[in-house]
């Protein structure tokens, strides 16, 4: 019987009160975004928003609780944009949507900063789930002005993320978000290295590691290499590209655990718990794999949503897992 774990891939929307308060404290310009050295008033505001979204997850009945990444002004690029050896350049589009981030230009050695670890230390909840960009996506979002070679840069980013993880507090799960495997997949020469980089980051923790992919399905050659990475689960976007996601599982197999992106993180229409459960059952009926555990989640980060819809989707995910447990 498959264990269902209700969770999310993090990156939450800021509550409206926090937007107003932080706008007054931080300002409105590019240079006013988080740089890792915020003062006590800003730290306090983020502490209160963190507590609010952690409580929202617990109240919704989610099984794994994330920090929320509310400080991540630059979305997945955040761990680099706050690094002392990284300068931020111009504003660039965050994949194919209407969000933008500061171009992290790496100009020196990437050494662990402890920034994400400090965020996790501040979470007061059981079943902590850490969230990081995957090494391939983080390297893809950045500009290398130091290492001078794509392969060396990818390895350096993987080393950097592994070093960050070594400072993490106890956590049960780590989600590595890898949308670039879909949006800008590795070429033939890079596929194996991208998989090895994920493998290297996963080795840094004893927690279960999920390589979560979204905004479509990973091309099959890249997927075949991704299967070589020693992660516990691969995440699939069953909102954007159902058939190709299903094809990868049935053609190449998958891990004994799986992450099912069944709730649309970019659409305000709230799925009912029954709809989510039906989608879980549909995946089960249409794949040839018996999963030990299925992470039931949104396909993408949730920061695109208004706060009320975000909270409704948390509740739907929690209720969907509870419904399935009752049926079992």
E strand segments, the chain: 3-6, 65-66, 86-93, 100-106, 128-133, 143-144, 173-177, 208-212, 233-237, 257-263, 293-298
d(CA 178, CA 225): 14
Model confidence, pTM? 0.96
- Using DSSP, state whether 140 is helix, strand or coil: helix
Q: Which fold has domain 3-324?
A: TIM Barrel (3.20.20)
Q: What is the pLDDT of residue 328?
A: 45
pLDDT by residue for the chain (328 residues), tens only, comes to 689 999 999 999 999 999 999 888 887 666 667 777 788 899 999 999 999 999 999 999 999 999 999 999 999 999 999 999 999 999 999 998 899 999 999 999 999 999 999 999 999 888 999 999 999 999 999 999 999 999 999 999 999 999 999 999 999 999 999 999 999 999 999 999 999 999 999 999 999 999 999 999 999 999 999 999 999 999 999 999 999 999 999 999 999 999 999 999 999 999 999 999 999 999 999 998 889 999 999 999 999 999 999 999 999 999 999 886 545 4
pLDDT score of 30: 61
> What residue spans define the domains of the chain?
3-324
Q: How far is CA 102 from CA 32, 72, 83, 134, in A?
A: 12, 11, 13, 18
Q: What pLDDT does residue 327 have? A: 52
User: Can you give the pLDDT at residue 270?
Assistant: 97
For residues 142 and 103, what is the distance between their CA atoms, to the nearest angstrom?
6
User: How crowded is the C-beta side of 316, counted as CA atoms within 13 Å?
Assistant: 24
Q: What is the model's pLDDT at position 56?
A: 97
């Amino acid at each position: 019987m498959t264990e269902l774990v209700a969770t999310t891939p993090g990156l939450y929307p800021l509550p409206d009160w926090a937007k107003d308060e932080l706008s007054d404290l931080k300002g409105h310009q590019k240079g006013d975004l988080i740089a890792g050295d915020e003062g006590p008033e800003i730290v306090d505001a983020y502490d209160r928003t963190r507590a609010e979204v952690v409580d929202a997850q617990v109240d919704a009945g989610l099984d794994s609780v994330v920090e929320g990444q509310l400080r991540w002004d630059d979305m997945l690029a955040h761990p680099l944009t706050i690094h002392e050896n990284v300068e931020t350049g111009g504003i660039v589009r965050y994949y194919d949507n209407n969000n933008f981030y500061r171009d992290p230009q790496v100009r020196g050695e990437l050494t662990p900063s402890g920034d994400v670890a400090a965020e996790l230390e501040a979470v007061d909840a059981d079943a902590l789930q850490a969230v990081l960009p995957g090494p391939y996506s983080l390297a893809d979002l950045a500009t290398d002005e130091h290492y001078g070679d794509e392969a060396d840069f990818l390895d350096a980013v993987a080393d950097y993320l592994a070093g960050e993880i070594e400072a993490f507090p106890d956590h049960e799960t780590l989600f590595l978000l890898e949308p670039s495997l879909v949006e800008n997949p590795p070429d033939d020469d890079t596929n194996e290295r991208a998989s090895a980089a994920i493998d290297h980051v996963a080795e840094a923790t004893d927690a279960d590691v999920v390589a979560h992919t979204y905004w479509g399905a990973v091309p099959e050659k890249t997927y075949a290499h991704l299967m070589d990475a020693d992660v516990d689960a691969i995440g699939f976007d069953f909102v954007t590209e159902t058939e190709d996601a299903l094809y990868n599982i049935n053609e190449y197999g998958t891990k004994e655990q799986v992450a099912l992106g069944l709730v649309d993180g970019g659409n305000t229409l709230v799925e009912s718990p029954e709809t989510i459960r039906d989608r879980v059952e549909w995946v089960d009926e249409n794949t040839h794999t018996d999963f030990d555990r299925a992470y039931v989640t949104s396909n993408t980060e949730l920061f695109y949503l208004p706060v009320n819809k975000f909270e409704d989707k948390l509740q739907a995910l929690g209720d969907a897992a509870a419904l399935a447990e009752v049926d079992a």
